[in-house]
Copies of this chain bind each other. A is one copy, B any other.
Amino acid sequence: MSGRLVLFRDVDDLISALPPGRVLTDPDVTASYARDRTFLQAGAVRAVVLAESRDDVVTTMKWATANGVPVVPRGAGTGLAGGAVAGDGSIVLSLARMTRIVELSPADEIAVVQPGVITADLDRAARAHGLMYAPDPSSYEISTIGGNLATNAGGLRCVKYGVTRDSALGLEVVLADGQVVNTGRRTMKGVTGYDLTGLFVGSEGTLGIITEATVRLRRAPAKPPITVAAEFTSLRDAASAVAAIIAAGCQPSMLELIDRNTLVAIDDWRHIGLEPTTQGMLLAQSDAADGEAAADRMAALCEDHGATFAARSTTPEEADELIAVRRMAYQAKERLGECLTEDVCVPRSKLPEMIAEIEAVGQRHGLMICTVAHAGDGNLHPVFIFERGLPEPPPHVWAAADEIFRAALRLGGTLTGEHGVGLLKKRWLELESGPVVASLQTGIKRVFDPHNILNPGKAI
């Protein structure tokens, strides 16, 4: 502690400038705020600020600009790309205590929220008015709206309702120097000036700190959704059923694919009665007015494409239980070892090819890869399992990841569908974007953050 105090004496000014109890400096405590859900190691951070208001954020940013100290903003720390991993000497700025739903207007179908609101809490609050907040990353029971906005998070329902950016109407943002701007609007439409709201969303905390967001709510479906579960003896058959379901216009509100490795991990943990021949499972959901008919059509299409079993839920409880299997996937995999979670996205028609690539890469490198996919969006999460205790993935895991990224790009896809670039994907970035886009991105960063103190080294 005393060495630390000597090193970071400047933090005293910040502590005095903020209300009491806002700053943590004990390294044993701050370390847990400096990481996300990746294996990446953080540096020794100067301090953690637990902001409770916009003013706290303004004070912190003014201090950081005056002292040239990097600031790493943070929601719940559920990120999977290293976006919230803090480097040596930086300040972690946690927005997790700003948990107020400031306004919920059923007439305008919007909510105004602070960044620390848990995503599923907003959805539940909206449901009380017959509305919903659509974006639902797998982490939505523990992740925050602020983190979802920072990464432009996707989720299961976005096959029908779009990603977080599609629900973001306006933002209050504290800039690097502590100035506050309001972007966007509380109307459904608006075209005044460049789309700064869309620019901040997905910028991974590198352009400003979101302190309030106006988000779009949607009418909740009138009836509980119907879920279809289908089992396949080949993952490529499952992928072709996905294409058929989309082409038939079934408009699923979820369309998820789970591979055998993942199913085994879930079965070992929660005993779902996995059949020995099942290589993949599709979970499809319809929340439409004619949901039963849509579900029957999806089940029939699964059978047409080789499903050994396909049935739809007959009660809301059963529908939820089936989806719960999918939501267990990430935790089940974490039981197997350290995880490198990837996030490629390909044009929907290339899903079978991408699955074949992943299988081939796994075999080539003797690697266990567990894959789940938001199949309706072509968004795959191959998770590479490696030995527990290793500080980072061994070279053959990186080599496998590299091959998968290149395959996704070759198929017309992208490195990251919804997790973000963070630190993990930076070295592949230019493969996708090219040097001219990179220089435009750097130029934008300089406009917003000329001294490079906002989450430096991330995202671009």
- How long is the Cα–Cα vector from A443 to B193 in the complex, in angstroms? 13
Contact with A202, one of B194, B436, B438 (Cβ below 8 angstroms): B194
- How long is the Cα–Cα vector from A222 to B401 in the complex, in angstroms? 42
Q: Report the minimum CB–CB distance from A312 to chain B (whole Å).
A: 17
**A414-442 contacts to B (CB < 8 Å):** 414-421, 425, 429, 432-434, 436-438, 440-441
Q: Are A162 and B154 in contact (CB under 8 A)?
A: no
**A148-202 contacts to B (CB < 8 Å):** 151-152, 154, 158-159, 162-163, 165-166, 175, 179-183, 185-196, 198-199, 201-202
Known A165-B198, A187-B412, A288-B289: A193·B419 in contact at CB below 8 Å: no
Judge whether A107 is part of the interface by a CB distance below 8 angstroms: yes
Contact with A219, one of B179, B249, B346 (Cβ below 8 angstroms): B249
Known A166-B162, A436-B175: A107·B348 in contact at CB below 8 Å: yes
Judge whether A130 is part of the interface by a CB distance below 8 angstroms: yes
Q: Are A414 and B192 in contact (CB under 8 A)?
A: yes
Q: Are A186 and B417 in contact (CB under 8 A)?
A: no
Tally of contact residues, A, Cβ under 8 A: 87
Q: Are A432 and B187 in contact (CB under 8 A)?
A: no
Chain B residues closer than 8 Å to A192, beta-carbon distance: 414-416, 421, 425, 429, 432-433
Which B-chain residue is minimally distant from A166 (CB atoms)? B166
Copies in the complex: 2
- How long is the Cα–Cα vector from A378 to B376 in the complex, in angstroms? 32
- Over the window 112-152 of chain A, the binary record of Cβ atoms lying under 8 Å from chain B Cβ atoms (1 yes, 0 no) is 00000000000000000010000000000000000000011
Chain B residues closer than 8 Å to A107, beta-carbon distance: 243, 246-247, 347-349
Contact with A345, one of B106, B187, B438, B440 (Cβ below 8 angstroms): B187
Chain B residues closer than 8 Å to A185, beta-carbon distance: 345, 413-414
Judge whether A377 is part of the interface by a CB distance below 8 angstroms: yes
Q: Report the minimum CB–CB distance from A398 to chain B (whole Å).
A: 19
Judge whether A39 is part of the interface by a CB distance below 8 angstroms: no
Chain B residues closer than 8 Å to A448, beta-carbon distance: 440, 443
- How long is the Cα–Cα vector from A110 to B249 in the complex, in angstroms? 14
- How long is the Cα–Cα vector from A347 to B214 in the complex, in angstroms? 12
Chain B residues closer than 8 Å to A417, beta-carbon distance: 187, 189-191
Q: Are B436 and A191 in contact (CB under 8 A)?
A: no
Most-contacted residue by chain B among A109, A181, A188, A418 (CB, 10 A): A188
Contact with A379, one of B186, B189, B199, B420 (Cβ below 8 angstroms): B189
Judge whether A105 is part of the interface by a CB distance below 8 angstroms: yes
Most-contacted residue by chain B among A106, A193, A201, A425 (CB, 10 A): A193
Judge whether A459 is part of the interface by a CB distance below 8 angstroms: yes
Q: Are B189 and A436 in contact (CB under 8 A)?
A: no
Judge whether A108 is part of the interface by a CB distance below 8 angstroms: yes
Known A110-B347, A189-B418, A251-B219: A196·B440 in contact at CB below 8 Å: yes
Chain B residues closer than 8 Å to A414, beta-carbon distance: 185, 187, 189-192
Judge whether A262 is part of the interface by a CB distance below 8 angstroms: no
Q: Are B108 and A437 in contact (CB under 8 A)?
A: no
Judge whether A460 is part of the interface by a CB distance below 8 angstroms: yes
Q: Are B198 and A434 in contact (CB under 8 A)?
A: no
- How long is the Cα–Cα vector from A185 to B194 in the complex, in angstroms? 20
Chain B residues closer than 8 Å to A374, beta-carbon distance: 189
